[in-house]
Homo-oligomer: A and B are copies of this chain.
Amino acid sequence: MKDKDQANLKIEKNKELTEKLVNIGNHVIAKLKSFQDPDVNIPVRTLSNVYFDEKARSLRLGNATSERSYFNLSQAKSFMQTMLVASKLREVIERGSPVGLRQLFYLSKGGIPGTKENTFDLQKECDPIVEDIEGLLKCLREEMGVEAERKGILCGDIKILDSGDEIDCSKQGSSGYGIPSIVEKGTVDFVDCKADYILVVEKGQTWSTLNHDKFWQKNNCLILTGKGQPARGDRRMLARLHRELDLPVYVFTDMDIWGYYIYSVYKQGSINLAHFSANAAVPDAKFLGFKMSDVEKYKIPKEHFIPMNKGDYKRIDEISKYDWFKEKKEWQQEFKDLVKFSNKIEQDALVGKGLDFMSRTYLPEKIKKRDWIE
């Protein structure tokens, strides 16, 4: 891919999205002209319409929609807000320049002439409208150019074309390639990749240690971190790398329920972003550790155990009942053992076994012996 092709790809995508937005407007105008109530049908995003798709092995949004119409007193304001944000998104797409969620809020926030009413008072009214429009258009807000927080970092033998610049992620020093909020085709494209797999690590510090040790070079892999709970861009990036480059994914987190859940988010998606999960889940991702059997295998000293608290036990109980963990014997055993062990082990504790224990011993051994949970 050349930078010109990348620009064209984006132009094509923008044309398609603009057309969809114009169609929504045309539908409303047609209704008005025939003296009917203008409306839109918004996919429902509440828990009742979220299900675990056994075949796709990830969270999905069902087919339920709810009508939002103009002549319904309780819906008139949100109908107006939907039209307003849709028209602002059209401007954003036309200019081809991304905006942040907060900026989009300000773009849409204004007085309504002749009233004391505002279109929007708070950003938390505006953000769900953006998600509504994602549903209406069956696209991601990132494709429309809406940015949010970014967190993750990537390194390894891959060349990325980012907004016309070719970036070699094997030559990014101690910094790495910072994963942007928008990593859609036309903004971020993969030019060339020689890596064999992707290692996902929970913590930024773990990434930093492995990057310093050139683990990615010695083991021919990419290393990605979302620094705790990953941002949307990090999850989407991982899914694209996995799908388009056919790279297996191994996840390495703390040995605690919060780490296990981070693995689950990369793998199946998250409940509150079910509509996003079809595009961002990696159902084949494997959990490398840190896991219960490692504690004895690698003789973690007692002083490095952290006692679990009430919140930890409660969360284990909740998560062990999730559809995608419920049927899995190995996971149920892991949860049971964790409760019995009643302690947590952090990635950072592994330096106690030697500064390069993770990169020289632990990780290569786990991968070689296929010592993971699916």
Residues of A bordering B, CB below 8 Å: 91-92, 95, 97-100, 102-103, 105-107, 109-111, 118, 147, 149-150, 153, 160-167, 171-182, 187-188, 204-205, 208-209, 212-213, 301-304, 346, 348-349, 351-352, 355-356
Contact (A173, B179) CB under 8 Å given A102-B205, A212-B97, A349-B106 = no
20 intermolecular pairs with C-beta atoms under 8 Å apart: A91-B355, A95-B355, A99-B209, A99-B351, A100-B205, A103-B348, A106-B346, A107-B355, A110-B301, A110-B352, A111-B301, A111-B302, A111-B303, A163-B212, A165-B172, A166-B171, A167-B172, A167-B173, A173-B180, A175-B177
Q: What B residues does A161 contact at CB under 8 A?
A: 173
* One of B98, B178, B356 near A97 (C-beta < 8 A): B356
* Docked complex Cα distance between A106 and B95 (Å): 51
Decide: A304 near B103, CB < 8 A? Known: A92-B355, A171-B167, A174-B182. no
B172 touches A162 (CB 8 A): yes
Given contacts A175-B178, A213-B97, A303 and B163 within 8 Å (CB-CB): no
The residue from B100, B212, B349 contacting A208, defined by CB atoms under 8 A apart: B100
Q: Is the CB of A153 within 8 A of B174?
A: no
A177 / chain B contacts, CB cutoff of 8 Å? 175
A209 touches B97 (CB 8 A): yes
Verify B180–A162 contact, CB threshold 8 A. Answer: no
How long is the Cα–Cα vector from A44 to B96 in the complex, in angstroms?
54
Contact check, B180 vs A178: say whether CB atoms are below 8 A apart. Answer: no
- How far, in whole Å, are A173 and B167 apart by their CA atoms in the complex? 8
The answer to whether A163 touches B173 (Cβ under 8 A) is yes
* Whole-angstrom distance between the Cβ of A184 and the nearest chain B Cβ: 11
Asked if A205 and B175 make an inter-chain contact with CB atoms under 8 angstroms apart, the answer reads no
A241 to chain B, nearest CB (A): 15
Give the interface SS of chain A, mostly helix, strand, loop or mixed.
mixed
Once the chains are docked, how many angstroms separate the CA of A102 from the CA of B304?
12
Could you say which residues of chain B place their CB within 8 Å of the CB of A351? 99, 103, 106-107
Docked complex Cα distance between A118 and B111 (Å)? 62
Cα distance A177–B172 when bound, in Å?
9
Q: Does B187 lie within 8 Å of A180, measured CB to CB? A: no
Please measure, in the bound complex, the distance between the C-alpha atom of A162 and the C-alpha atom of B208, giving whole angstroms: 13
* A301 partner residues in chain B, CB cutoff 8 A: 110-111
Closest Cβ–Cβ distance, residue A74 to chain B (whole Å): 24
| Of A92, A171, A179, most B-chain CB atoms within 10 Å | A171
Q: Which residues of the partner chain B approach A100 to less than 8 Å between Cβ atoms?
A: 205, 208-209, 348
Tell me how far the C-beta of A164 lies from the nearest C-beta in chain B, rounded to whole angstroms.
7
Q: Could you say which residues of chain B place their CB within 8 Å of the CB of A355? A: 91-92, 95, 97, 99, 107
Contacts of A187 in B (CB 8 A): 174
Of A91, A109, A205, the most chain B CB neighbours within 10 A belong to A205
CB-based contact A180/B174 at 8 Å: yes
List B contacts of A176 (CB < 8 A): 178
Q: Is the CB of B171 within 8 A of A163?
A: no
The answer, among B147, B164, B204, B348, for a CB contact under 8 Å with A205, is B147
* A303 touches which of B98, B118, B162 (Cβ 8 Å): B118
Known: A100-B205, A174-B188. 12 other contacts (CB 8 A): A95-B355, A100-B209, A105-B348, A111-B302, A147-B205, A160-B173, A162-B174, A163-B212, A164-B173, A165-B171, A167-B172, A167-B173
Chain B proximity of A279: nearest CB distance (Å): 19
